Amino acid sequence: MALDRWIALIILGIALAYGYAAYFTMDAGLPPFMQRNPIWPSTFPKVLSVLAILTALVILLGLEKAPENPKEPDIDYRRLGDYKIGQAAALLGLMVAYAVLLRPAGFLLSTGGFLIIGASVLGERRYLVLIPVAALATGIIWYLVQVVLGIFLRPWPFFLG
């Protein structure tokens, strides 16, 4: 089995566990007034798990591939050194750092830093465009979540109040 199908199998297992949690465990502690709402806190995780399961099944069953007969698989596990594993590992580390720094550093600083550093890791070198676009995107997202949705999101680091 090709490497992409193995990865799809792993993602399928994760999505099934996530879907189980979304469908059977997340709504158990809801207060009675929220149980009559049309959209629950578990609605997005349920949709996300179904989409992830369907996508993993499409890849696992090979439905996304053209009916040609390639001589070599798309991803060759024997040549993993030829792929950009360092960039992928750096992005995964950056995601973990973002999750850890979100509360202490605040949304604006951590999200802006994540976007700028992440784009730099991926190869963007036009910093005169990158920094304003990242700042604008961060500010718009914070405004939408804080003001429009009414969800408190600490904008600044904890020591600034």
Encode pLDDT of 102-113 as tens digits: 989 989 999 999
Confidence of residue 70 (pLDDT cuts 50, 70, 90): low
- Residues 56, 15: one domain? yes
Which comes out higher in pLDDT, residue 80 or 47?
A: 47
* DSSP count for the chain of H helices, then E strands: 5, 0
| 8 A C-beta contact, residue 104 and residue 157 | yes
- Residues 50, 90: one domain? no
Find, among 115, 94, 111, the residue nearest to 102 by Cα: 111
| 8 A C-beta contact, residue 130 and residue 124 | yes
Which pLDDT does position 55 carry in this prediction? 94
Q: Is the pLDDT of residue 65 over 90?
A: no
**Domain residue limits at 49:** 1-83
* Dist. CA 36–CA 7, nearest whole Å: 39
How many structural domains compose the chain?
2
Enter the pTM of the model.
Answer: 0.57
- Residues 3, 64: one domain? yes
SS3 127: helix
Which of 83, 102, 135 is the last residue in one of the domains?
83
* Dist. CA 15–CA 75, nearest whole Å: 22
Q: Is the pLDDT of residue 93 over 90?
A: yes
- Residues 35, 103: one domain? no
Which pLDDT does position 48 carry in this prediction? 93
Confidence of residue 27 (pLDDT cuts 50, 70, 90): confident
Confidence of residue 73 (pLDDT cuts 50, 70, 90): low
* Dist. CA 156–CA 161, nearest whole Å: 8
